[in-house]
């Protein structure tokens, strides 16, 4: 049995999963301290969901070993599941039950004492008081998300696994959701979350970028940006469409991204990139301002280099 590191909620190495002849996750290594929020980034089909399911005991890996919450991910998956809360991409509660009825049902599944009182506490904690008698199927995306979170923390788990939990939710609801996630992490709960939103990724303590089942980037957000080797410029022009066409074939330019009337360019060859920018300025094709790379710049560059699809 794999020995657990007392400082790490999750420590896995060589994690591999195949479905038939297709390798979905390959040789993945992740270390996550207790109380940390770890964000998974990557294109659709990159292996994020499969990795999360292996970590919480829902899938058995074909290769690799490690521990989650001190338990062996292969031999003690049942113990991991009892102490983990999993929130899938799609709403998974009963739409013909009310909020309170759903929570009472979940409490009974976990054989918790006094399910009505447990449900009542969850209703108050997540601010669901005014909607407790409303059918789950009648809720908006933001309220369904809040109900799902209430359900997955009902049994006081030590680990939360959230699979794109805010997809399709408005910005205000997303911000409130993340405030609650940080409060849970501050209380010692470890959180793994997959997301496509850069502002959400920046709120994580650690991030990992997956592409074609391989973990290409891993670490604190600031370190990931600092180690990217990227140099970036912000360009403005009277005709951004024409400028973008020029940039797509210019030396040193590895990614070109439009932001309204501005264009961000990035590359790892500073000399070539600067020469391209200076040439554009000399020809009065664009105004330019050097800028530090953002996490989004790193994400787009990594995705392009890895041949990933749209995020």
What the block records as the tokens of 146 is 């809040």
Model confidence pLDDT, tens digit, residues 212-222: 889 988 999 99
pLDDT at res. 53? 87
**Rounded CA gap, 228 and 230, in Å?**
5
Name the residue with higher pLDDT: 204 or 55: 204
Specify the DSSP class assigned to residue 114. Answer: S
Q: Tell whether the torsion through CA atoms of 208, 209, 210 and 214 is positive or negative.
A: negative
**Rounded CA gap, 257 and 235, in Å?**
10
Q: Read off the pTM.
A: 0.87
Burial (0-12, 13-18, 19+ Cβ within 10 Å), 154:
buried
What the block records as the tokens of 65 is 């070993």
pLDDT at res. 1? 58
Provide, rounded to the nearest whole percent, the portion of the chain with pLDDT above 90: 63
Model confidence pLDDT, tens digit, residues 117-131: 999 999 988 888 888
Q: Map out the domains of the chain with their CATH numbers.
A: 8-225 (3.40.50.300), 231-292 (3.30.70)
- Band (208; pLDDT cuts 50, 70, 90): very high
Model confidence pLDDT, tens digit, residues 120-171: 999 988 888 888 999 999 988 888 888 999 999 999 999 999 988 887 778 8
Question: Tokens 């089909």 appear where?
Answer: 45
First to last CA, the chain: 37
pLDDT at res. 277? 96
Model confidence pLDDT, tens digit, residues 35-58: 999 999 888 888 988 998 898 888
């Amino acid at each position: 049995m794999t020995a657990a590191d007392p400082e790490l909620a999750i420590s896995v190495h060589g994690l591999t999963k195949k479905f038939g002849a297709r390798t979905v996750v390959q040789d993945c290594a992740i270390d996550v301290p207790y109380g940390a929020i770890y964000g998974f980034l990557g294109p659709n089909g990159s292996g994020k969901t499969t990795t999360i399911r292996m970590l919480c005991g829902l899938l058995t890996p074909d290769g690799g070993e490690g521990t989650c919450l001190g338990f062996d991910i292969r031999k003690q998956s049942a113990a991991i599941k009892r102490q983990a809360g999993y929130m899938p991409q799609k709403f998974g509660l009963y739409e013909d039950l009310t909020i309170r009825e759903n929570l009472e049902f979940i409490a009974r599944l976990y054989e918790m004492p006094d399910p009505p009182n447990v449900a009542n506490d969850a209703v108050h904690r997540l601010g669901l008081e005014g909607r407790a008698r409303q059918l789950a199927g009648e809720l908006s995306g933001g309220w369904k998300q809040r109900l799902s979170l209430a359900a997955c923390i009902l049994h006081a788990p030590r680990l939360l696994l959230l699979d794109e939990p805010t997809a399709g939710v408005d910005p205000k609801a997303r911000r409130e959701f993340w405030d609650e996630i940080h409060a849970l992490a501050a209380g010692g709960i470890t959180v793994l979350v997959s997301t496509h939103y850069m502002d959400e990724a920046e709120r994580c303590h650690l991030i990992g970028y997956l592409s074609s089942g391989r973990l290409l980037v891993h670490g604190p957000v600031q370190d990931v940006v600092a180690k990217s080797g990227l140099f970036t410029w912000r360009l403005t022009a009277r005709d951004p469409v024409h400028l973008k066409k020029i940039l797509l074939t210019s030396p040193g330019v590895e990614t070109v991204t439009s932001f309204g009337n501005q264009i961000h360019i990035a590359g790892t060859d500073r000399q070539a990139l600067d020469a391209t920018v200076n040439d554009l300025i000399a020809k009065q094709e664009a105004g330019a301002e050097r800028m530090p790379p953002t996490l989004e710049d790193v994400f787009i560059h990594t995705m392009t280099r890895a041949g990933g699809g749209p995020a």
